[in-house]
A and B are shown apart, each in its own frame.
Chain A
Amino acid sequence: SQQGEEDPQALSIQEGENATMNCSYKTSINNLQWYRQNSGRGLVHLILIRSNEREKHSGRLRVTLDTSKKSSSLLITASRAADTASYFCATVWRDDKIIFGKGTRLHILP
């Protein structure tokens, strides 16, 4: 399978702690995207990082990309209850094909 694989599948942390999720993939990509999905809702785009970029920030989110290791990480700092959701990475191939991973279910404990 060429899809991105998130790790871990599930993560529970205390509110205020940092959460790190990883995504690995198997083939060359044009860009990698992270999305959040709250229960019963559609996916919401978080960050797009291109293959020539190594790090991007957006508020409390930090995404890194290591094309030599074919992996990316999403860091959420100072987690809040509202961050409880599933997080997906999506890899966009050179031919514009997009493949979503199976997601990491993040639960923020009060």
Chain B
Amino acid sequence: DTAVSQTPKYLVTQMGNDKSIKCEQNLGHDTMYWYKQDSKKFLKIMFSYNNKELIINETVPNRFSPKSPDKAHLNLHINSLELGDSAVYFCASSRGGRETQYFGPGTRLLVL
């Protein structure tokens, strides 16, 4: 059973489009995260949710909007996609904010 899953795995789209990435964890964790990994492999946290409540909201354009319908899901919606949004987006979860994180396989987004 996959602990943290993301869909889609690959996403190729045109500039200006709106897209969503979904994340689900079956570990019973309270905290979920979204990360962006750029072409240089630098991993930067974007958002953190604890029990459906936004905890961390890093300096991210407001075109990015996370939504947590329940504790096991954290989706990422991106409006008006730009070339610079091309990256790998990782979802992760943990029991608490300071604990080990479990990562999903990543969603490779390419904006043309």
Q: Could you tell me which A residues sit within 8 Å of B by CB distance?
A: 30-31, 33, 35, 37, 40-45, 48, 86, 88, 90, 92, 96-100, 102-103
Contact = CB atoms under 8 A, between A and B. Distances in A.
B45 A42 contact: no
Contact of A42 (B41, B96, B106): B106
Contacts, number: 56
A92 B4 CA distance: 21
A44 B102 CA distance: 7
A84 B94 CA distance: 26
Closest 5 CB pairs of A and B: A96-B97, A42-B103, A100-B43, A43-B103, A45-B100
Interface string B26-70: 000000000100001111110010000001100000000000000
B99 interface: yes
A88 B41 CA distance: 10
Contact of B56 (A33, A90, A97, A102): A97
Given A40-B106, A42-B104, A96-B96, 14 more contacts: A35-B103, A37-B41, A42-B105, A43-B43, A44-B103, A45-B100, A92-B97, A96-B48, A96-B56, A98-B45, A98-B101, A100-B44, A103-B41, A103-B43
Interface of B: 4, 35, 40-45, 48, 55-56, 90, 92, 96-106
For the complex, would chain A's binding face be called helix, strand, loop or mixed by DSSP majority?
Answer: strand
27 contacts: A30-B98, A33-B101, A35-B101, A35-B103, A40-B106, A41-B105, A41-B106, A42-B92, A42-B103, A42-B106, A43-B90, A44-B103, A45-B101, A45-B102, A48-B99, A86-B41, A88-B43, A90-B101, A92-B97, A96-B56, A96-B98, A98-B101, A100-B35, A100-B45, A102-B40, A102-B41, A103-B41
Question: Most chain-A Cβ atoms within 10 A of its Cβ — which of B55, B97, B105?
Answer: B97
A1 to B, nearest CB: 11
